[in-house]
Amino acid sequence: MKRIAIAGCAHIHTPNFVKILKAREDVTVAGVWDHDARRARENAELLNVKLYNSDAEIWDDPSIDAVVICAETNRHRELVLRAAKTGKHLFVEKPLGFAGRDALEMAAAIEKAGVLFQTGYFMRGTPVHLFLKQQIEAGVFGVITRIRHANCHCGSLGGWFDTQWRWMANPAIAGCGAFGDLGTHSLDILMWFLGVPERVAADIRTVTGRYGTDCDESGEGLLHFPGGTIGTLAGGWVDLANPVTCEISGTEGHAVVVNGQLYFKSNHVTGADGKEPWTALPSEWPHAFVLFLDALAGKKVRLVSAREAALRSVVMETLYRAAKHTRWETVAF
């Protein structure tokens, strides 16, 4: 049975991870640490485990196999490097890095340590995304001319980050605002489908000002992929609805996801006329965090590599830089 420690409980997904851990019988939570003593105590009590007074207690304990890092993004580098140095497997909430440079440094340390790594890009496991990945690899779209992905909600309008999760709307701590927070999921899907874009442009802005003028609440990115495909991605906290989440257009096929339903047309697939929802889809993967726990337990599952996670931080930072300078920026890493 693997022993896990939690280093940081700041992220909005922490409560769900705590529920998942409480339900698992093949892992043991050794203890909880957070620089915020109240937050650490509350989660330690929920799990009925030890409360660490210092994160050093985690790194100095050889019986701890893995660490779950849900700390603020600007704390990731220090915690991840310590975990990698002591050979502990890692789940790190997204994004991996505050920016591209620290993300690449962390990825290099994780790869050198040879430990398991996973981050919170759970959208890969949806049946629609799994299906579209398969079809892209099979070439049923022909030459893909354009691709789009959107991930938006009404968090700013609803005040989701007003109190407990306020740091997530502070770019000095989170490294970004809404576009980076939600757009990174869309970016992961686009890069999972097509690889690393060569250059990008973006328009990112504050809308309501609820979290100050430094916190963006909506954005649109433009990505030029090798081979000429143009991608667009949207991310924001000021959307009352987000019905069209994905679209792929090619010379021999088309797909669009509307309100969760996939409409698929291809010259190469029998019955794919795009008129009715396409329901012949793969089975859904477990959540990214569950996949990490399964991997710890010895199961063969597909995880997001540390380098993949780092490259998402590199591209997202480039998108913000492109928006700041209102020009195309080359993706360099």
pLDDT digit string (tens) for the chain, length 333 residues: 999 999 999 999 999 999 999 999 999 999 999 999 999 999 999 999 999 999 999 999 999 999 999 999 999 999 999 999 999 999 999 999 999 999 999 999 999 999 999 999 999 999 999 999 999 999 999 999 999 999 999 999 999 999 999 999 999 999 999 999 999 999 999 999 999 999 999 999 999 999 999 999 999 999 999 999 999 999 999 999 999 999 999 999 999 999 999 999 999 999 999 999 999 999 999 999 999 999 999 999 999 999 999 999 999 999 999 999 999 999 999
The domain made up of 2-119 has a fold known as Rossmann fold (3.40.50)
Q: What angle do CA 251, 124, 84 make, to 5 degrees?
A: 130
Q: Which residue has the tokens 């889809």?
A: 281
Report the alpha-carbon distance of residue 141 to residue 136 in Å, rounded.
7
**What is the pLDDT at residue 102?**
98
**What is the pLDDT at residue 96?**
98
Q: Is the pTM above the cut of 0.85? A: yes
Can you say whether the dihedral through the CA atoms of 9, 13, 16, 17 is positive or negative? negative
Report the alpha-carbon distance of residue 296 to residue 1 in Å, rounded.
9
Structural contact between residues 110 and 81, judged by C-beta atoms closer than 8 angstroms? no
Question: What amino acid is encoded at 197 in this protein?
Answer: P
**What is the pLDDT at residue 287?**
98
Write out the two tokens for 268: 């190469």
Domain 127-283, CATH homologous superfamily name and number: Dihydrodipicolinate Reductase; domain 2 (3.30.360.10)
Structural contact between residues 62 and 329, judged by C-beta atoms closer than 8 angstroms? no
Sheet of 50-51, strands arranged across: 50-51, 27-33, 2-9, 66-70, 89-92, 117-119
The domain limits of the chain are 2-119, 127-283
Report the alpha-carbon distance of residue 322 to residue 200 in Å, rounded.
7
Structural contact between residues 200 and 331, judged by C-beta atoms closer than 8 angstroms? yes
- Work out the number of other CB atoms within 10 angstroms of the CB of residue 275: 9
**What is the pLDDT at residue 315?**
98
Distance from the Cα of residue 191 to its chain's centroid: 12
DSSP state of 283: P
**What is the pLDDT at residue 168?**
98
Beta bridge partners, 274, equal none
Report the alpha-carbon distance of residue 101 to residue 289 in Å, rounded.
25
Structural contact between residues 7 and 68, judged by C-beta atoms closer than 8 angstroms? yes
Give the dihedral of Cα atoms 267, 268, 274, 277; nearest 10 deg. Answer: 180
